[in-house]
Amino acid sequence: MTGVVLRCEQGDITCLQVDAIVNAANSALLGGGGVDGAIHRAAGPQLLDACRALHGCPVGEARLTPGFRLPARWVIHTVGPVWQGGQRGEAGLLAACYRHCLELAGNHRLTSLAFPCISTGVYGYPRQAAAAIAVHTVTICLPRAPSIRELVFCCHSPDELAIYQGLLAA
C-alpha cells in the first residue's frame, strides 16, 4: 500500500472528483433510495439505461458503468448484504463487495476510488462492524490494484465519519 492515500470524509459521494465512485446498489441495479438513488439522479437517465443492459448483479459482486453526468468517470455498482443477525454469511459477502470493486478498479487502471458505507442504510448492517470489514478488506486487497493512488471512504453522517477516522488512525 505504499504511496496510496487512504482517507475518509463526510459529504456527497456524487460530488467527488475521483475516477470512480462506488454505488451501494440493489441487485436489479435500477436505482433505489439512499446512495443508489442519489447517484442515479446525479448521473442522469443514461445511467439507468446502462444498468438495464447489465441485467442485475448478485450480492457481493460488482459491475462497472460510465459516470455520465457525474464528476467521476465511472460508477462501480456493488450489492451489499442485508443484515440478518450476522450468522448468514453477511461479513463474507460485504468483504466480497469491496474486493470485487477493487478488482474492477485495478482491471481498468483507475487511480482514485470512493466508497460509501455499503449496507449500513436500509440494509441494516451495523456501522462499526461494516466499517471494520471495509477498512480491513481494502487494506489487504489494495496491493492487487496497484494503479490506485487514492481511496476515499465517503461517509454520510458525523457518526460514520468518526468510526472511519478511528479505524484509519489505528
Mind telling me the catalytic residues?
A: 36
CA–CA separation, 105 vs 64, rounded Å? Answer: 9
SS3 at position 144 = helix
- Assigned C-alpha cell, 84: 440478518
Q: How far apart are CA 40 and CA 24, in angstroms?
A: 11
For residue 49, the SS3 value is: helix
Taking phi first (over 0 means left), then psi (-120 to 50 degrees means alpha), and beta for anything else, what does residue 30 get? alpha
CA–centroid distance for 140 within its chain = 16
